Chain A
């Protein structure tokens, strides 16, 4: 069974740097094809994809937030860390981490997984002075 759990501060001040940790179990980030992503959701609003790190340390970032985001992994600890600099009240949101699966093969082809399953429970981060 795959589980993920987000942890970090519940309150940060404007201009501070947010550091969130995703601790997972049931899979290894050293397995080829696997990834862990971060998605956020402001209160009452839509989901927004932020970043993803692959098993091979390849990283992808949301173009609109790329300059503020850094994603890293610690395979030995089964953890992925997301940092976001220069926090602003508009960054108030529930932050989720999610598992990007291995992918699958049919009788003729293999396909990468471009979905997220499962997700962590989320952690609410409020940005306020």
Chain B
């Protein structure tokens, strides 16, 4: 299984919205509503931000939202804040009953 494809970097100014894409295949992203997103600050463990494409765990800001169209999932962060600067990873369950992660996207808040 190949890693899911994410842009290496995105940036935005405080208050703006940004979207990170995550492209897979019909065997993973496109085949299941089992895409999750993780936020990772430097030197820290990943933190779950979105599960099942668009659901937010308790305690995660509603500025974070997820969606999916075909083989591409997206994470949108609205009202960018300095604390949102981090690496973001998507993940999907696969037809092999395994998981696959994306290559990661570095978000810079200008």
Q: Which of A46, A115, A119 contacts B45 (CB 8 A)?
A: A119
A113 contacts which of B1, B47, B51, B91 (Cβ < 8 Å)? Answer: B51
Question: Which residue of A has the minimal Cβ distance to B92?
Answer: A114
Of the candidates B36, B98, B101, the one whose C-beta lies within 8 Å of that of A60 is B98
Known: A117-B57, A119-B45, A119-B46. A46 touches B102 (CB 8 A): yes
Residue interface mask B26-40, A partner, CB < 8 A = 1:
000000101010100
Main secondary structure of the interface of A (DSSP, over half): loop
Q: Are A116 and B45 in contact (CB-based, < 8 A)?
A: no
CB distance from A60 to the nearest CB of B (A): 5
Residue B18 lies at the interface, judged by CB distance under 8 Å to chain A: no
Query: How many interface residues does chain B have, given as a range?
Result: 20 to 34
Instruction: Tell me whether A84 is interfacial, beta carbon within 8 Å.
Output: no
- In chain A, positions 36-62 with a C-beta closer than 8 Å to chain B are 37, 39, 45-49, 52, 60-62
When the two chains form the complex, which single residue of B34, B45, B91, B103 contacts A49, counting CB atoms closer than 8 Å?
A: B91
User: CB-nearest residue of chain A relative to B104?
Assistant: A46
